[in-house]
Amino acid sequence: MRLIAALALVLVACKKSDGDTQIDSDDTDIQQADFGYDERPANPSCVAPGERLVEDAAIDVNRVFNSVSLNSPVGLYQAPGDADHWYVIEQDGRVKRFDGTEASPAAEVVLDITGPVASGGEMGLLGLAFHPDFQTNGKVFLSYTANGPVSHIASVQTSNGGADWDAASLETILTVSQPYSNHNGGNIAFGLDGMLYIGFGDGGSAGDPENRAQNLGTLLGKILRIDVDTPPYVVPPDNPFVGVAGAREEIFAYGLRNPWRFSIDSSTGELWAGDVGQNAIEEVDRIQSGGNYGWRLKEGNDCYATNPCDAGGVIDPVVQYRQNSAYGGRSVMGGVVYRGSAIPSLVGTYLFTDYYHGKITAIVYDPTTGEPGRTVLLDTGHTIVHFAEGNDGEVYYLTHDTGRIFRIDPLDGGAEPDFPTTLSATGCVDPANPQRVASGVIPYDINHPFWSDHAAKRRWLALPDGTQMTLAADGDLEFPVGTVLMKEFTVNGQLTETRLFMRHADEWGGYTYKWRADGSDADLLRSSEVVDASGVDWEIPSRAACMQCHTAAAGRSLGIELGQLDRTAIYPATNREAPQIDTLVHIGMLAEPPAVTPFPAVDDAAASVEERARTYLHVNCSQCHRPGGPGQGDLDMRLTTALADTNLCGVPQNGDLGIADPRIVAPGDPASSVLLARTRDLGAYRMPPIASHVVDDVGTGVLSEWIAGLTACP
């Protein structure tokens, strides 16, 4: 075993934990050896295709502006009258500009207001809107949060067609104090009427504790409409609450929880908003002047704070979806109405998604009843943070985690990658017996498995011949294009599914094969599915759900870390048990790494409670809760992060679960710790949030014991 002095914790080699299993062998006469193989087995067949699978879609998506480098972008825009340039806002307070006509554009910072901007979690530079007369007046408007927190709507002057931005001209025209750091809204846009529309959330916390969204005396939980042509601004006389006693006259619509992204139809002027839900329902609304959209009386069509809640005047969503539905997701990402020419069948169709799954979805209407519904056009697997409409009406989107820009295009003649629909056709197993892996596929095992509802798992790795894994600067392993990671699940004694995680030329992709009842083969699934595993309901996640957990911030691959691999494994091809890292180095699949400290298993009594608890959080939570990850707030649950820097002892910003005086982790008080409550919750607050329906009693017990033993936060 290898030791690493760089880690502050001294971790101990460990045994396998409940629900996981080591690689099986056909021969019980296993020999102890220095290496699992004498030489590297050839891998002629288990290689990822160059392209990700695209199917069952009227659209495709293609990455564009590949050379543009972005850091946590949240908005993409074109200025009126200028189809040659694009602008991106980054959450920390930068505006970047690049030439969209060049083959390899570079983004230039044209405005840096990182000084006044308070960024992190749901705060930051959140919105931008070009004045309709931008070509003559050069005016741009911004929405951002400053310390307090306080939301600012500000103007800034540009010149030279938007090439030059005058930071000294930044002038706040409206401020709104935010009682909490979440639910800031932040979107702004000019309507066809020339008015500026502004979205604000309900002020944050959870459940709108002060009922701000229904209170017309506050701007929180509202969409505003103001006239900025008379500085700093005036209220348009036709706003719906002009002259109403006690009401803020800037209000255009109310009863919204967090309209993070809204857009205005460039043809009709209709305003569409995605309103992020509380515990159960995400909704898309068509916003009307004076409309009440129900929060917190209702969440979607369901009663929330009052029951009954059928008082007249509340406008229900155009469409909604439940967070625990097959569609999935838990943070709707409002989109745009398509007005381009490349996809004629979509003209006039509203497109949206959810941050947590990236399924591009269209609102469609029943031709007989006229009732609206949802149709998934493409499951991208991306963390989409903003849809943009070019001046030509074509639609683009931004990915928050990778900082990439994609364009929605027509599907090219229906052509799609040649992708195997059965496990036996993947080249990763024996075609005659798919329960046996191909000869070039290498088994591996890990010290501390991700919690998977007691499922037993086996794991394999396949690299293209002549390639190897490398060690990234942050310690994660990086894999060459063509890599396949394979994991098999047996639930309640029944072989249930095999997942392939493939490194394609542009991105990773996750694919699940469901085993047939007779075990003869496994079939590729198109979406999530709940199956009966010997009397147990088992949820097979969708491809998008794979990418939701395998985040870009965590390097996509999760279990293959040096601390996980630092143990022995059984190699059935040679009937040997040998150290894994030494074996991988010996056969040329891994360069000699620095000294390593093995992760402890969650039930390893030889390791301290703190070591096991911190490793549990690293394995089960840190893929999202780390810098650049999609997890809300500023938590960093990586094992290598000092406890004082994890922010685990802060006040929860996204729901207190009814706990009085809650903390994320309350030293010495597990009952007041929201983190522990979330790991034991099986409803909307469940963490991890997908594909788990059983509480990990061992893991949560270790967390509880660790929290109880903490005397203070560092």
For residue 278, give the CATH number of its domain: 2.120.10.30
Is 182 a member of any domain? Answer: no
Is 452 a member of any domain? Answer: yes
- 496 and 448 in one domain? yes
- 283 and 220 in one domain? yes
Residue 36 is part of which domain span?
A: 1-53+417-602
- 568 and 634 in one domain? no
pLDDT tens, residue by residue, 310-336? 767 899 999 999 987 778 788 999 999
pLDDT tens, residue by residue, 105-164? 889 999 999 999 999 889 999 999 999 999 999 999 999 999 999 999 999 999 999 999
For residue 258, the model assigns a pLDDT of 97
Average pLDDT, the chain: 89
Task: Produce one character per residue of 195-233: b if its CB has 16 or more CB atoms within 10 Å, e if not.
Answer: bbbbbbbbbbbbbbeeebbbbbebbbbbbbbbebeeeeb
Identify the band that residue 557 occupies on the pLDDT scale cut at 50, 70 and 90: confident
Checking if the pLDDT of 455 tops 60, the result is yes
Checking if the pLDDT of 9 tops 50, the result is no
For 519-554, give the DSSP string: SS-EEE-SS-EEEEETTEEEEEPPHHHHHHHS-TTT
Identify the band that residue 14 occupies on the pLDDT scale cut at 50, 70 and 90: very low
Checking if the pLDDT of 425 tops 60, the result is yes
- 79 and 60 in one domain? no
Q: Which of 602, 633, 658 is the last residue of a domain?
A: 602
- pTM passes above 0.75: no
Q: Which of 415, 441, 456 is the last residue of a domain?
A: 415
Least confident of 19-33, 522-536, 583-597: 19-33
- 377 and 273 in one domain? no
- 589 and 471 in one domain? yes
Q: How far is CA 632 from the centre of its chain?
A: 10
For residue 368, the model assigns a pLDDT of 65
For residue 556, the model assigns a pLDDT of 86
pLDDT tens, residue by residue, 613-640? 999 999 999 998 998 887 767 899 999 9
Angle at 460 between CA 456 and CA 465, to 5 degrees: 175
Is 183 a member of any domain? Answer: no
- 515 and 496 in one domain? yes
For residue 413, the model assigns a pLDDT of 54
- 288 and 318 in one domain? yes
Mean per-residue pLDDT, 554-582: 93
Checking if the pLDDT of 8 tops 70, the result is no
pLDDT tens, residue by residue, 674-685? 999 989 987 666
pLDDT tens, residue by residue, 474-524? 778 999 999 999 999 999 999 999 999 999 998 888 999 999 999 999 999
Least confident of 3-7, 138-142, 529-533: 3-7
- 570 and 442 in one domain? yes
Is 184 a member of any domain? Answer: no
- Percent of the chain clearing pLDDT 90 (strictly above): 70
- 556 and 457 in one domain? yes
Residues 599 and 612: their CA atoms lie apart, in Å, by 8
pLDDT tens, residue by residue, 17-75? 344 544 444 456 889 999 999 999 999 999 999 888 765 557 999 999 999 989 999 99
Checking if the pLDDT of 546 tops 90, the result is no
The secondary structure of residue 268, as a DSSP letter, is T
Q: Which two tokens stand for residue 485?
A: 């990671």
Mean per-residue pLDDT, 647-656: 79
Identify the band that residue 165 occupies on the pLDDT scale cut at 50, 70 and 90: very high
For residue 55, the model assigns a pLDDT of 53
- 436 and 534 in one domain? yes
For residue 577, the model assigns a pLDDT of 96
Residues 94 and 75: their CA atoms lie apart, in Å, by 11
- 398 and 504 in one domain? no
Identify the band that residue 673 occupies on the pLDDT scale cut at 50, 70 and 90: very high
Specify the number of domains making up the chain.
5
Q: Which of 322, 345, 362 is the last residue of a domain?
A: 322
Residues 543 and 528: their CA atoms lie apart, in Å, by 8
